[in-house]
Amino acid sequence: MVRVGDGDPRILLHGHVDVVPGEEAQFEPREEEDELYGRGVYDMKGALAAMMYAIEDLQNLGCEAAVELLVVPDEEGEHGAKTGAEVLIGSGHVGDFLITGEPTDFHIGTQAKGVLDVRVTMRGKSAHGSQPWLGKNAALLAYEHYRKVADLPFTKVRSDLFPYPSINLARIIGGDVLNRVPDRCTYDLDVRFLPNQDPEEIVRQIRSVDLPADVEVLFYREPTYVTRKNPYVKVLREVSARHFRGNPVGVGRHGASDIVYFQRAGVPGVEFGPVGGGHHGPNEYVVSSSLETYRQMIVQFVQIVGRNGKVI
């Protein structure tokens, strides 16, 4: 954690240093024209580096607001123990507004889908692999079950910022040896539901599929939301519009972020980051010149809200 200034409002800049697994070559960064390639450069080490420079700029220029840079090592990890963001919040690192540097191409992410991770277990009947008709293949049952889930009513819901929820068949575990029909198969679904959807209703629909299955909720995290009329969002939009080709309106984000923990603590926040592409993929990159622009945007935003004070 780094802090500059001691006035109002209290602005939080948030970033994470961890990345998802990648190919070995991705950990040797390279630059081609104005694109910097490497694991995590877009999600979100590029934004984090720009935030660090922005903090230095604000220190040198004089900062009327109070700004904290909060860095965590575990935003990309699977769920379980208390997160770094929760630890920081528990230590009093809260404020009036949060910006997390998730990749948004200078759009302002005012909504994000919720997370519902579900495990479905199918039970079949084992038989010799040479006579599969004598058994009941649990792997095939799991596939049939998933096809039915993908056609349930909750998958067709939309909202003002989202055309649909997201359903990812993330993991499947079944069978042991080649010469035996698998009698058990488990698959895990990563459902990203819309702010206007009820996760309990989604689980009810999954359990209603007309195939016998055990359905277990592994993890739940609520959607995030901040109104586009929020005064800090308005200032950020005005600052972004100075550099953005088009209108940097509030957008919906398909993925989740640590904003949810700050939201629970009463801190409104948005995802806002530089330009790039391919995050979580083999060709992840960030546009190098956008990092300097992003740095300037952060500084300008803090300067404006600092001059206006806490109530803007």
**Does residue 299 register a pLDDT over 60?**
yes
Average pLDDT over residues 67-91: 89
Nearest to 306 by CA among 57, 50, 62, 94: 62
For residues 100 and 120, state if they share a domain. no
Average pLDDT over residues 57-78: 91
The residue from 197, 221, 245 where one domain ends is 221
For residues 149 and 244, state if they share a domain. no
CATH number reported for the structural domain that contains residue 119 in this entry:
3.30.70.360
For residues 47 and 70, state if they share a domain. yes
For residues 104 and 9, state if they share a domain. yes
The answer to whether the peptide bond before residue 21 is cis (omega within 30 degrees of 0) is no
Average pLDDT over residues 102-114: 94
For residues 217 and 231, state if they share a domain. no
For residues 122 and 180, state if they share a domain. yes
Quick one: pLDDT at residue 86? 94
For residues 82 and 131, state if they share a domain. no
CATH number reported for the structural domain that contains residue 61 in this entry:
3.40.630.10
Looking at the structure of the chain, the number of domains it has is 2
For residues 147 and 284, state if they share a domain. no
Quick one: pLDDT at residue 310? 64
Which residue range forms the structural domain that includes residue 9?
Answer: 2-111+225-308
Quick one: pLDDT at residue 255? 83
Read off the pLDDT band of 4 (50, 70, 90). very high
The residue from 221, 253, 279 where one domain ends is 221
For residues 107 and 118, state if they share a domain. no
pLDDT tens, 8-38? 999 999 999 999 888 888 899 999 999 999 9
pLDDT tens, 237-263? 999 988 877 677 778 888 889 999 999
The residue from 157, 190, 221 where one domain ends is 221
Query: What mean pLDDT is reported for the chain?
Result: 93
pLDDT tens, 134-181? 999 999 999 999 999 999 999 999 999 999 999 999 999 999 999 999
Quick one: pLDDT at residue 280? 87
pLDDT tens, 204-249? 999 999 999 999 999 999 999 999 999 999 999 999 988 877 677 7
pLDDT tens, 53-65? 999 999 999 999 9
Quick one: pLDDT at residue 312? 52
Read off the pLDDT band of 79 (50, 70, 90). low
Q: What predicted TM-score, i.e. pTM, was given to this entire model?
A: 0.86
For residues 107 and 231, state if they share a domain. yes
Q: Rounded CA gap, 256 and 30, in Å?
A: 28
Quick one: pLDDT at residue 263? 95
For residues 145 and 199, state if they share a domain. yes
For residues 84 and 172, state if they share a domain. no
